[in-house]
Amino acid sequence: MAVQITDNNETNELIDLGYYFNIIKRYSFRIIALSLAFTLLVAVLVLRMTPLYTSSTTLLIESDKTNVVSIEEVYGIDTKSKDYMATQYEILKSRQIAEKTVEGLSLYNNDIFMPVVEVNGPSLLSRVKAMLPFLPQAEPTTLTDLELLERKKRRAVSLLMRATDVSMMKNTQLMRISVTTESASLSALIANTIADVYIESYLQAKVDMTAKATSFLTDSIEGLKGKLDIAERNLARFYETNQVVNIDGVVGLASDELERLNIQLSEAQIELKLNEVIYSQIKDSKALSDVARLPEVLNHPAVQDVRRDEGKALAKVSELRNVYGPKHPKMIAANSELTAIRDTLSIQINDLISSITTQYESSKEKVKRLESEVNASKAAFRSLSELDNQRKALERDVDINQQLYNSFFTRLKETDELGGFETANARVLDSALPPGMPSKPNKKLFIAIAFVFSVAFGVFLAILLEALNSGIRSVEDVERKLGQRMLGLIPWLHHKKKTDLPIRSFFDGKKHQFSESVRTLRTSLSLLNLDKEQQVIMLTSSVPKEGKTTVSINLAFALGQLDKTILIDADLRRPSVGRQFNIPSYQPGVANLILKSHTFDECLVQDEESKIDILTAGTIPSNPQELLSDKGFDLLIQDLKTKYKYVVIDTAPTQAVSDSMVIANSCDSVIYVVRADSTSDKVINSGISRFLQVGHRLDGVVLNQVNLKKSDVAQRYAGFYDQYEYTSHKDGEK
């Protein structure tokens, strides 16, 4: 089973869930063992834990309470503030409430709430310092009974604050007070007591605030009464000193008089300016004729009348002059009338000049007089204004003191009335009751969590160990880590340690899985070489102890059932084929044939049970690699191919020596034997790469000594082997 995922680079990868499932299945026993051990340990610890009981009481806090009288200013509390509930929450959690609760219930003497400890003993820090003498040591101190009591109280308060939990219920005015102790009844008692202490503290705070407000208002009223009396006396003295009855009316009259005089002065000043102009012109004129020509004189009504008469007289004289002579009585009378009119005109002009001078002087005097009167009026008005300002200031001082006195007196009366009507801002909605079951620890939950955690941790460890394991244990590892095909899988057979597997296991009917796995290897190898009439098959491994010799022998047994087969031990350094078949070490073999010291028949050994021929290593030479590189070895192999269908060669490990590289030149097939879950993939790849570097092709890998109980892939093959074996027995019976 695989899950496809897409990363940011648009590349698809497959996560093989079956691979991880197989890992978990392979490690299942160890995972379960770890989980059970850890869960058992946690269960023992949890069962030893002291049960804790939690009891809760619910408070209803009225943030919008009805005021009996409007004196919020006295208390200074804004109950409608959005922070009111948060403030009450912090008050419930405060140390002051905890201290009053501890005092009220004497929790510092309660052995259940606060187990007895050596309060007067040395502290942990002191004991640590005592064990380290090079550190500065503090002088030992002895606490008095009072100091011990205070320390116990502080410890009890700290314990209570840790044991108490206050929570606000969302979108309500409810507070829940929860207390957790080792006693169910004690938890309920403490929770109810905290609620009562909170309510009593609120009421006591209101009483204290009322008392403080009353004292403040009383002291303030006495001072305000004295100030009011002084202000009233100052106002009365002002009226008595200045003999003022209606100063507002007097000030109004003075203002009107000053306004009237200012108007008269303005008119007089205008008149004076006009008279001054005329007077200056008359004064500057040198002859009466010049004066007579002035517009002011010409336009004067009296002068205009005389001048009209003069014009009439001149017209009459002119008319008579044309008729009569200068001596005629009418002519004389007309001239006399003209002369008289002109004399009158001169008199009128002179009178007018005198009048203008007199009028100018009179205007000057009038302006001076009015200016003096205006100045006097201004002085009087200023004096009256000052008196009026003094009167207003005194009256204002009296009014302010009167208002303050009345306001404080009203607040004092309201406070006195409220003193006996104190209401709490909260009430208990649900009292705490002793719980029937402990709240902590939740043993079942802890054990379940421990089991789940241990299983998850075990799975993690299994996957981690699998990731850190560099061995080869499955077909997937062969293909993924080595890049080679899997030819066969040889199961591990139980046998004594430090001993070889019994050589005839292939023919043991009780070990049918082992036999079938070897036959499967034989089939895979045959299918790869269908086009070859004879096959020279070489088996090697990376390091010793991987079972290549066992595989070589059993493969030779399997091939021997098909056709004529010979098994050659080409490991001239540490030969083991002869030892497996109990052939004496002095038996000549491959080395003797290459050196031509013995004949083929002298070296050949036949196994009677399996019917295969065996060619041991023979006498071990001092230069095995040079001997194998000789043409004699290649000629030997070519000769054997003419006599045998299958030639199986067991060689030395690749990481130990390079003999197998030389032998591979004479072989048709190269099989690489890998011990399951043992040799590192890096070592195996290094050995395989040596063949690839010299141009030799590997037919595939044989995974040897696979534990069928631990390997999922091997178990699947084992199931097939069992089924096949059972079918074979049934067919045989038929």
Residue with tokens 């059932």: 561
In terms of Cα–Cα distance, which of 674, 693, 676, 692 is closest to 684? 674
Q: pTM for the whole thing?
A: 0.47
**Which segment of 36-45, 376-385, 524-533 scores lowest on mean pLDDT?**
376-385
pLDDT at 734: 34
What pLDDT is recorded for position 513?
A: 83
Residue 483 gets which letter from DSSP? Answer: -
pLDDT of res. 247: 59
**Cα 572 from Cα 673, distance rounded (Å):** 19
Question: How far apart, in whole angstroms, are the C-alpha atoms of residue 734 and residue 721?
Answer: 20
For residue 461, name the pLDDT band (cuts at 50, 70, 90).
Answer: confident
Residue 551: is its pLDDT beyond 70?
A: yes
- Residue with the bigger pLDDT between 355 and 296: it is 355
User: How does pLDDT run across 191-236, given as a tens digit for each residue?
Assistant: 999 999 988 888 887 777 777 766 776 767 777 777 777 877 776 7
Q: In what order do the strands lie in the sheet with 604-606?
A: 486-491, 700-706, 669-675, 535-541, 646-650, 565-569, 613-615, 604-606
pLDDT of residue 135: 63
Structure tokens at 470: 């560099």
pLDDT for residue 480 is more than 50? yes
Query: Across the chain, what does the average pLDDT equal?
Result: 76
**pLDDT: is 161 or 255 the higher one?**
161
Instruction: Please give the distance of CA 594 from its chain centroid, rounded to a whole number.
Output: 81
The separation between the first and the last C-alpha atoms of the chain, rounded to the nearest angstrom, is: 41
Least confident interval from 290-299, 603-612, 656-665: 290-299
Q: How many CA atoms lie within 13 A of 392 on its CB side?
A: 8
pLDDT at 728: 43
- In the three-class reduction of DSSP (H, G, I as helix; E, B as strand; rest coil), residue 293 is classed as coil
- Give, to the nearest 10 degrees, the angle between helix 28-48 and helix 17-26: 70
- Give the CA distances from residue 6 to residues 3, 16, 498, 733, in Å, rounded to whole numbers and listed in that order: 10, 14, 51, 57
Per-residue confidence (pLDDT) for residue 300, from 0 to 100: 56
Residue 23 has pLDDT above 90, yes or no: no
Using DSSP bridges, classify how beta strands 486-491 and 535-541 pair: parallel, antiparallel or unpaired: unpaired
pLDDT of residue 260: 77
| CA 222 – CA 467 distance, rounded (Å) | 91
pLDDT in tens, 681-694: 788 888 888 888 77
Report the range out of 110-119, 225-234, 345-354, 623-632 with the highest average pLDDT: 623-632
Instruction: Give the residues across from 179 on adjacent strands.
Output: 55, 164
The whole-number pLDDT of residue 136 equals 66
Q: Give residue 40's pLDDT.
A: 92
Examine the pLDDT at 57 and tell me if it is beyond 90: yes
The pLDDT of residue 106 is 87
52 DSSP assignment: B
Compute φ and ψ for 635, nearest 5 degrees.
-65, -35
Residue 726: the pLDDT is 40
pLDDT one-digit tens code per residue, 441-455? 777 888 889 899 989
Q: Which of 233-242, 312-321, 591-600 has the lowest mean pLDDT?
A: 233-242
CA distance 94 to 177: 13
> What percent of the chain has a predicted confidence (pLDDT) above 90?
5
The residue whose two tokens read 């008089």 is 257
Enumerate the β-bridge partners of residue 440: 52
Whether the per-residue pLDDT at 377 is higher than 90: the answer is no
Q: Cα–Cα distances in Å, from 127 out to 119, 135, 305, 572? A: 14, 12, 140, 72
Comparison of pLDDT for 297 and 612, the residue scoring more = 612
Residue 372 has pLDDT above 70, yes or no: yes
Whether residue 584 has a cis bond before it, omega within 30° of 0: no
Residue 48: is its pLDDT beyond 90?
Answer: no
3-state secondary structure (DSSP) of residue 492: coil
